[in-house]
Amino acid sequence: MTTNTRRAATRQKLYDAAVTLIAEQGYSATTVDEIADRAGVAKGTVYYNFASKAELFEELLKHGVDLLTERLRSAAEGRRDVEALDAMIRAGLEFIARYPAFAQLFVAEVWRTNRAWQQTLALVRGQAVSVVVGVLEQSVRDGAFSEELDVALTASAIFGMVLVAALDWLAFQPERSLDDVHAALSLLVRGRVAAGS
């Protein structure tokens, strides 16, 4: 295993430990010692990889949104219009079902404006939403959606809908299947966005 591969694996263990602990007990209550212990590494390993707990958390946010953005891009690839949106909705639900603690943290941090990483959070959120924007803009250019569509707000609404609906599903309706939740959200998008075309 190369040094870069080992370092990436260590960072992933730290991300996994941090996201779980912070989701369980909050950012302020979580210590570097606990993160190191949960990851199964020495405390010095945390500081070797990240200058501080704040930097670890900021990098965790970037890492998680990068993963989500890549899933959205892959889902939309080769698809157009409502089919691309539908595939991204499913990809978003699958991502949140796989990483619910990250989704909880992301949603919680969006509302906190006093954090050092607020600007980073806005940038990475914009990165994920821009994938949806791209599909909507192309759909308007193709004539599949109305030129009156507010692309920026619609993209944010779809992104937010998937995040909140997925968290609600996992917390309050876990008996529902992913297919069931996807079908309901798909119907909303097909009924509202496509109906305006």
CATH of the domain at 20: 1.10.10.60
Distance CA 195, CA 81 (A): 12
33 lies in the same domain as 121: no
pLDDT of residue 194: 59
Q: Give residue-wise pLDDT tens across range 18-56.
A: 998 988 888 889 999 999 999 999 999 999 999 999 899
**Overall pTM > 0.85:** yes
Contact (Cβ atoms closer than 8 angstroms) between residue 109 and residue 92:
no
Q: What is the mean pLDDT of residues 136-141?
A: 95
The pLDDT value given to residue 192: 65
Tell me: pLDDT of 138 over 60.
yes
Whether residues 111 and 39 fall in one domain: no
Same domain? For 75 and 136 the reply is yes
Both structure tokens of 3? 């040094």
Strand positions, DSSP E, 76-192: none
pLDDT for 46-95, tens place per residue?
A: 999 999 998 998 889 889 999 999 999 999 999 999 999 999 999 999 99
| Residues 68, 40 share a domain | no
75/153 same-domain check: yes
In this structure, the answer to whether residues 40 and 82 fall within a common structural domain is no
Buried/exposed code over 27-45 (b: 16+ C-beta within 10 A; e: otherwise): beebebebbbebbebeeeb
Instruction: Tell me the residue range of the domain where 149 lies.
Output: 57-194
> How many domains does the structure of the chain reveal?
2
Considering the domain architecture, whether residues 46 and 137 belong to the same structural domain is answered as no
| Same domain, yes or no: 82 and 3 | no
Q: Distance between CA atoms of 190 and 179, rounded to whole angstroms?
A: 16
